[in-house]
């Protein structure tokens, strides 16, 4: 294929850690030219890793084509390929990695493996202008409070069991709520919660700086099954309790690090009530508050493309033989030499 003559350099990033297959294309200067996401919605029940992976394999070609079309470039114009190497679900990660390896070998260009959690922070900084934030990253698979210190993004607090988004999703499923395209379970819970009035006492578990949502989830599901409370009140109480936990930990990280910015990202960042709570503690500590727009808050390929560029510019490349996926690759294991 003959590419358009261009002096710009581009990276294509592939995201496939869980239920979303995303392809993003970014210029080396951080202009996002395309960010196409195809979300897998299971017919019923939760995400089955192999079925999600099958979805990714099926839509892969179409999503790639759409991304090239949107960006107005050809595969030959690319300088590097990056992919989310972890953490995530094995079959899903492997599908994305396979596509990335095939593209990089075929085009004979460098491959860069990116940590998914680092990518959420980097796209957050790119899109909001935050320079050195305390980040609250809350999604279907992760709940992490982090901030940069001596070469790495350190984890100040995290969930000890299920992620905040997953907690909302499991509850919604138990309650028989329905998910439509573009309206995730968390958003359905948020709508119901807005009409809740009664705050029901539920387990609130913060241990040191870490959080546990499983006791809360079990308790609220038990109350749901008893049928004594209105669903709106249960949604409201679940949100208030869970969001207070992440807010407490974020505030303590802010007080400890004395950073002057707070960044809220991940799929759950779309929640207006959570935004208000985090904004309030940011203001109390004279810190700027930013929330990521949804397109870049959910799992997406643009964040992988951009982080691939940052890493590549600092000499990071991933030879094919070292491009195996890392299911439990922690945020704080990654050196980020591009951050001052």
Bridge pairing between strands 20-27 and 10-15: antiparallel
Residue 140 is a binding residue for ligand AMP (CB under 6 A)? yes
Q: Which residues 2-31 are close enough to bind Mg ion by CB under 5 A? A: 19-20
Binding mask 247-286 for Mg ion (x = CB under 5 A): ----------------------------------------
Taking CB under 6 A as the criterion, the residue among 145, 234, 268, 310 binding ligand AMP is 268
Instruction: Answer with the entry of ligand AMP, Mg ion, none that 141 interacts with (C-beta below 5 to 8 A by kind).
Output: ligand AMP
Nearer to ligand AMP, 21 or 185 (CB): 185
Structure-token pair, residue 47: 């995400």
Dihedral sign of CA atoms 103, 109, 112, 113 in order: positive
Taking CB under 6 A as the criterion, the residue among 40, 153, 171, 185 binding ligand AMP is 185
Helices (H), 130-184: 164-174
d(CA 66, CA 61): 9
Contact 76, 2 (CB under 8 A): yes
Binding mask 297-326 for Mg ion (x = CB under 5 A): --x---------------------------
Residue 186, CA atoms < 13 Å, CB-side half-sphere: 22
Q: Give the SS3 label for residue 125.
A: helix
Residue 87 is a binding residue for ligand AMP (CB under 6 A)? no
Residue 85 is a binding residue for ligand AMP (CB under 6 A)? no
Contacts 24+ apart (CB under 8 A), 194-199: 194/236, 195/232, 195/236, 196/230, 196/232, 196/233, 196/234, 196/235, 196/236, 196/237, 197/232, 197/233, 197/236, 198/229, 198/230, 198/233, 198/236, 198/237, 199/233, 199/236, 199/237, 199/240
Q: Which residues 293-312 are close enough to bind ligand AMP by CB under 6 A? A: 298-299
Residue 77 is a binding residue for Mg ion (CB under 5 A)? no
Residue 187 is a binding residue for ligand AMP (CB under 6 A)? yes
Binding mask 140-159 for Mg ion (x = CB under 5 A): x-------------------
Residues that bind Mg ion (CB under 5 A): 19-20, 140, 299
Residues that bind ligand AMP (CB under 6 A): 20, 139-141, 165-166, 168-169, 184-187, 190, 266-268, 270-271, 298-299
């Amino acid at each position: 294929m003959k590419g358009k003559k261009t002096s710009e350099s581009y990276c294509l990033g592939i995201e496939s850690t869980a239920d979303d297959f995303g392809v993003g294309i970014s210029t080396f200067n951080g202009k996002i030219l395309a960010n196409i996401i195809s979300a897998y919605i299971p017919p019923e029940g939760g995400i089955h890793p192999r079925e999600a992976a099958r979805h990714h394999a099926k839509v892969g070609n179409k999503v790639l084509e759409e991304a090239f079309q949107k960006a107005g470039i050809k595969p030959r114009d690319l300088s590097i390929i990056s992919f989310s190497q972890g953490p995530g679900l094995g079959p899903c990660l492997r599908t994305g990695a396979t596509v990335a390896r095939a593209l990089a070998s075929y085009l004979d260009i460098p491959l860069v493996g990116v940590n998914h959690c680092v990518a959420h922070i980097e796209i957050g900084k790119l899109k909001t202008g935050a320079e050195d934030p305390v980040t609250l990253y809350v999604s279907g698979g992760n709940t992490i409070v982090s901030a940069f210190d001596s070469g790495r993004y350190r984890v100040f607090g995290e969930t000890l069991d299920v992620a905040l988004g997953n907690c909302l999703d499991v509850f919604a499923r138990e309650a028989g709520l329905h998910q439509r395209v573009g309206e995730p379970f968390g958003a359905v819970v948020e709508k119901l919660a807005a009409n809740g009035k009664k705050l029901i006492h539920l387990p609130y578990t913060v241990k040191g700086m870490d959080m546990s949502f499983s006791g809360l989830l079990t308790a609220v599901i038990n109350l749901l099954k008893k049928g004594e409370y209105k669903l709106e009140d249960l949604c409201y109480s679940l949100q208030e309790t869970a969001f207070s936990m992440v807010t407490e930990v974020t505030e303590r990280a802010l007080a400890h690090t004395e950073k002057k910015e707070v960044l809220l990202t991940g799929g759950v960042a779309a929640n207006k009530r959570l935004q208000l709570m985090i904004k309030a503690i940011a203001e109390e500590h004279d810190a700027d508050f930013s929330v990521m727009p949804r397109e870049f808050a959910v799992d997406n390929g643009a964040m992988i493309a951009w982080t691939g560029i940052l890493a590549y510019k600092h000499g990071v490349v991933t030879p094919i033989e070292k491009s195996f996926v890392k299911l439990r690759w922690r945020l704080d294991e990654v050196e980020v030499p591009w951050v001052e």
